[in-house]
Amino acid sequence: MYEADLRATAGRNMAGRVGAGANTRLPELYRTMRRIRTFEERVGELFVRGQSAGSMLHLSIGEESAAAGVCANLRDGDSFTTHHRGHGIFLARGADPARMMAEIGGKEAGYCHGKGGSMHIADMGLGHLGANAIVGGGIPAVVGAGLSARHHKTGAVSVAFFGDGATGQGILYESMNMAALWHLPCVFVCINNQYGMGTNIAQATANPNLHERAAAFGLAAETVDGLDVEAVAEAAERLVEGARAGKPAFLAVSCYRFYGHARKDKSPYRDPVEEEAGRRQDPVAFARAALIDRGLESESELDRLDTEIGAEMDATIDFTVAQTEPPLASMFRDVYAPEEPEPEPVRARIDRVLARD
Amino acid sequence: MALQELTYRDALRKALADAMTENPDVVILGEEVGRYGGAYGVTKDLIKEFGAERVIDTPISEPAIVGAAVGAAMTGLRPVAELMYVDFIGMTMDQLANQAAKIRYMFGGQIGVPMVLRTQGGTGRSAGAQHSQSLEAYVMHTPGLRLAMPATVADAYHLLRMALTKPDPVVFIEHKALYTMKESVDLDAEPLTWGKAAVRREGRDLVIVTYSRQLHYCLEAARTMSAQGIEATVIDLRTLNPLDFDTIRAHVERTGRAMVVSEGVMTAGVAAELSARITEECFDFLEDPVVRVTGEDIPISVSTVLETGSVPGPQLIADTALRMLAGRVPA
Ligand SMILES: Cc1ncc(C[n+]2csc(CCOP(=O)(O)OP(=O)(O)O)c2C)c(N)n1
Ligand SMILES: [Mg+2]
């Protein structure tokens, strides 16, 4: 199926959008994608330098258009959840990359004080209801957020981002059914990077036309080619605004996971020819070429921007390395609300048992 | 007969391969068990040896994986379902606790569910709150489920082979920090007895009851204590259901002191059950209260500092035992 996608996009004429006008969002979309790409590259460096907390780092290189294109249509007050490959989405919603990197390094200065890490990053201030290490685990929360938005009449939309692998989870279908049944302002975004670990989507389902499932539940449902971030943004605009008006939606973004599942996976299960073709489906390079082609930016302007972003992201590593580990006693904090007593440490309990004469 | 150098991972793989060779009805199903070879490499290349119809890669659908294993077991297969992390057991709890565990009983003994659910748990990889838990208490709390937790390479092999002969569902929890542990083992040696604990070390002063990775920490602590004149008996439970309480009782009665060590959280955990039982059944022999050394009653952090700080290590075990015995035993 992806082969067909590749052929279709290879034959497409990028010049088709010349004249889309001065109000194009492409420069901003490019900038967002470039920041994601560079951030993810630095996450890889953090790992190599032995500064990351663990090796469960899932990079979103190759799928930046999903984050950039969808988030370009979200507003203050909207909320979202992500899967374990969610750095890019969070960045696209305005995260501070230094605090993100510090969290990935397990440092006190990170978004979750080193408790969450790469797979559990969150920021309620930006509407990020949480990244998740349980495949599908974050999906139903957007149904609840949709109920809240309806109840409080906020006009907010809630978006669940997840991978193609999560389409194997029953909870996705339970959630979409509820959203459709109750006309909730929810959007389900499936980032179809063709793989769940070593399993190609074609090995995980007999019908890889994922949007058809959502349509069957009564959602507005589309598949879009993630090579073209403008196409993603346009589809997302339609679907997000539809959801705001009470028509929940599903969007599958077709893309390719450029590297391994996690930092240490070299994808031995993938055909190198396929990999090479997949990596040519590069949304960042595609957008860059389009900007130059259409005369929206010059190559040197883009080089300058890329360098600037490189420096910004380099600084996140320096920041992280300089930060302190969370204090040991902080492990008891935030199990319950701050006004509640903290759990009693095992050591304190042992002390009491042993304190006899 | 021959000693061979094997890792815990190799031993598990060999147990699966040997069982599959012996019994054509043994099938494996789970995420990434086939082409990928298992998230921790336990099923590496089994698909090449036994084919994709016996080593079945599934979609990411945990409840259906376990549920399919239940149905397969009821209809003549010998399924080994794999959950990549024990942390996902909650998603499968209906199939496990309401279906697998109760089918024999609810249906008046007509049929059993001879399946094995292999999974792994524990800390040690900075894998965060949803990939580092020790959830054996969920299983031990459910009548109808057997529970094995190997701590050594030889046990990894033998317990898995035996689990695959048991008439009832066995949950088999490996420890993610043990996969690369190496031992010289003789797999043809007399197999262990299912349901019988192993006394890994004998000492006169106290009994330490433990299982899984904490065994190694307890043995290390016991060596430290020995250098200070305190001798501990260390019991490795191997299976938590069946539970070999006879062995525990015999050693508690002999030494008069017991400590229970588990990586799981303290409250309502495996150590709570063991401690209660030792207190109830060995009360007259105890010189001191049973002490639990366990994981903290908190989730696991991704920060390595907080992660290692929240579970027992050799030092806490040794310190606690030494304090327990301070001034009570002639040094
Ligand atoms: C419930 C659950 N099952 C299995 C896993 C192990 N796991 C982590 S990521 C992953 C693959 C997910 O694939 P996909 O949803 O396509 O996301 P991608 O990694 O491609 O971004 C698996 C099987 C998990 N974390 N949670
Ligand atoms: Mg995927």
- Omega prior to A326 cis, within 30 of 0: no
* Chain-chain contact of B298 with A331 (C-beta, under 8 angstroms): yes
Calculate the CA A29 to chain-centre distance: 15
* Chain-chain contact of B320 with A269 (C-beta, under 8 angstroms): no
Tell me, yes or no, if B286 comes closer than 8 A to chain A by beta carbon.
no
For chain A, list residues with pLDDT below 50: 1-16, 18-20
Set of chain B residues whose Cβ sits within 8 Å of the Cβ of A167: 59
- CA A288 – CA A18 distance, rounded (Å): 14
The pLDDT value given to residue A41: 98
Instruction: Give yes or no for residue B8 having a pLDDT over 50.
Output: yes
Tell me, yes or no, if B297 comes closer than 8 A to chain A by beta carbon.
yes
The pLDDT value given to residue A272: 97
Phi (first) and psi of residue B117, to 5 degrees:
-110, 105
CA of residue B119 to ligand 2 center, whole Å: 22
The pLDDT value given to residue B330: 56
- CA A331 – CA B300 distance, rounded (Å): 8
* Chain-chain contact of A353 with B304 (C-beta, under 8 angstroms): no
The pLDDT value given to residue A40: 98
The pLDDT value given to residue A19: 45
Mean pLDDT of B143-156: 98
Shortest CA gap B188–chain A (Å): 35
The question of ipTM being above 0.90 is answered as yes
Span(s) in chain B for CATH 3.40.50.920: 198-325
Are the CB atoms for A53 and A217 separated by under 8 Å?
no
Within 58-117 of B, beta carbons closer than 8 Å to A belong to: 58-61, 63-64, 87-88, 91
- pLDDT band at B328; cut points 50, 70, 90: confident
For residue range B201-230, what is the model confidence (pLDDT) as tens digits? 999 999 999 999 999 999 999 999 999 999
Encoded tokens for B170 = 């066995």
The pLDDT value given to residue B189: 84
- CA B201 – CA B225 distance, rounded (Å): 13
CA of residue A193 to ligand 1 center, whole Å: 12
Q: Is the CB of B88 under 6 A from ligand 1?
A: yes
For residue range B72-130, what is the model confidence (pLDDT) as tens digits? 999 999 999 999 999 999 999 999 999 999 999 999 999 999 999 999 999 999 999 99
For residue range B128-140, what is the model confidence (pLDDT) as tens digits? 999 999 999 999 9
B216 classed as catalytic: no
Catalytic residue among B31, B82, B131, B251: B131
The pTM of the full predicted model, rounded to 2 decimals, is 0.96
Average pLDDT, chain A: 94
Q: Which of A55, A84, A118, A132 to mutate to test the pocket of ligand 1 (most atoms within 8 A of CB)?
A: A84
CATH class of the domain comprising B198-325: alpha beta
The fold of B3-186 is Rossmann fold (3.40.50)
B231 classed as catalytic: no
Tell me, yes or no, if B320 comes closer than 8 A to chain A by beta carbon.
yes
Shortest CA gap B218–chain A (Å): 17
* Chain-chain contact of B320 with A354 (C-beta, under 8 angstroms): yes
Percentage of chain B surpassing pLDDT 70? Answer: 99
Set of chain B residues whose Cβ sits within 8 Å of the Cβ of A203: 57
Set of chain B residues whose Cβ sits within 8 Å of the Cβ of A332: 296, 298
Set of chain B residues whose Cβ sits within 8 Å of the Cβ of A116: 128-129, 301-302
Span(s) in chain B for CATH 3.40.50.970: 3-186
* Chain-chain contact of A56 with B297 (C-beta, under 8 angstroms): no
Mean pLDDT of B15-37: 98
User: What structural domains does chain A harbor?
Assistant: 2-354 (3.40.50.970)
CA-to-CA dists, residue B308 to A230, A232, B305, B312, B320, angstroms? 46, 43, 6, 8, 17
